[in-house]
């Protein structure tokens, strides 16, 4: 699943590659990805074909491509979905569920492996787009909302929860999933089970700086999100953990800071924490 750095790289790629282009031909091979916004493929195509993409913004991991005439093309990559550029004549392939060719050439393909894709897309009125994206209006996006460290601290203190659970909660922070929540806490030297309400102002500032440093490093490591149909920035070609990650996926390996073996702790079903038991206080 895309986390915040990859989502922002994808938004910037889309802004560079598709803004100003007009949708010409729309092909949908999996109608379920259009729910709940469209009942038929014909309806979706009618809403999108002929529309020009004016801007690209995002809310969390959901891409919001603003069209003319007060409409927005919403694309939610879901758990494993990806967007990639192709030629207008390229065969969509078995894993491509939506293909949109542009009037000036080229196409954007929405793909995800498996018979039951989690990606979703639809054209909605722009004033309804944020609600349609299905993400919390109250959650903080550390890249898009650009909070000060004081505002960031208010979210932490109000949460009064273990830091890992708080950072990975999409109702509180957008796009900080299992990977970057671990990396941010390691960079800040804070344990996953520290209560957010227990942090001192100095620790809040340290966590704030760590979040920005880790997210920027993640963006740098992502490269272009449109070049590969199945982008994966968490592993190298040989299957090893990506070099920009210090603790995630590195159970048993030495901590880069103090050389203590990294531990993995199960917090709840589907959520674990990779952390150093020595230098994260």
Among 98, 132, 166, which residue terminates a domain?
132
**222: containing domain:** 149-275
Q: What is the CATH number of the domain that holds 109?
A: 3.20.190.10
261 φ, ψ (degrees, to nearest 5): -60, 135
Assess whether 10 and 124 both reside in one domain.
yes
Residue 240 is predicted with a pLDDT of: 56
Q: What is the CATH number of the domain that holds 232?
A: 1.10.8.50
Residue 227 is predicted with a pLDDT of: 66
The answer as to whether 221 is a domain residue is: yes
**Chain Cα centroid distance, residue 121:** 15
Assess whether 78 and 164 both reside in one domain.
no
Pick out the chain residues at pLDDT < 70. 223-225, 227-240
Assess whether 85 and 43 both reside in one domain.
yes
Bridge partners of residue 83, in order along the sequence: 110
The answer as to whether 281 is a domain residue is: no
The answer as to whether 280 is a domain residue is: no
User: What is the pTM assigned to this prediction?
Assistant: 0.90
Residue 234 is predicted with a pLDDT of: 62
Tell which residue, 201, 22, 48, has the closest CA to residue 121: 48
Assess whether 203 and 120 both reside in one domain.
no
Among 103, 132, 161, which residue terminates a domain?
132
Assess whether 214 and 268 both reside in one domain.
yes
Assess whether 25 and 93 both reside in one domain.
yes
Helix crossing, 149-159 with 201-222: angle to 10°? 110
Among 82, 106, 132, which residue terminates a domain?
132
The answer as to whether 207 is a domain residue is: yes
């Amino acid at each position: 699943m895309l986390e915040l750095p990859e989502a922002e790289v994808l938004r910037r790629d889309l802004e560079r590659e598709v803004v100003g282009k007009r949708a010409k031909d729309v092909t949908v091979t999996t109608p379920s990805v259009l729910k709940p916004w469209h009942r038929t493929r014909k309806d979706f195509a009618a809403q999108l074909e002929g529309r020009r993409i004016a801007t690209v913004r995002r809310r969390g991991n959901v891409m919001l491509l603003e069209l003319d005439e007060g409409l927005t093309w919403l694309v939610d990559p879901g758990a494993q979905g990806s967007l990639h550029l192709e030629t207008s004549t390229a065969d969509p392939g078995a894993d491509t569920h939506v293909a949109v060719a542009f009037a000036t050439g080229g196409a954007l393909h929405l793909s995800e492996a498996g018979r039951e894709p989690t990606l979703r897309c639809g054209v909605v009125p722009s004033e309804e787009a944020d609600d349609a994206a299905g993400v919390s209006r109250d959650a903080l996006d550390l890249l898009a909302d650009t909070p000060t460290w004081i505002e960031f601290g208010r979210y932490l203190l109000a949460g009064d929860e273990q830091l890992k659970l708080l950072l990975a909660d999409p109702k509180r922070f957008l796009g900080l999933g299992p990977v970057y929540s671990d990396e941010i806490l390691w960079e800040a030297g804070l344990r996953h089970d520290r209560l957010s309400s227990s942090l001192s102002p100095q620790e809040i500032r340290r966590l704030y700086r760590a979040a920005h440093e880790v997210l920027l490093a993640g963006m740098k490591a992502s490269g272009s999100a449109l070049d590969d149909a199945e982008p994966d920035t968490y592993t190298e070609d040989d299957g090893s953990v990506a070099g920009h990650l210090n603790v995630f996926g590195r159970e048993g390996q030495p901590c880069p800071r103090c050389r203590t073996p990294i531990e993995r702790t199960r917090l709840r079903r589907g959520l674990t924490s990779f952390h150093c038991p020595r230098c994260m206080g």
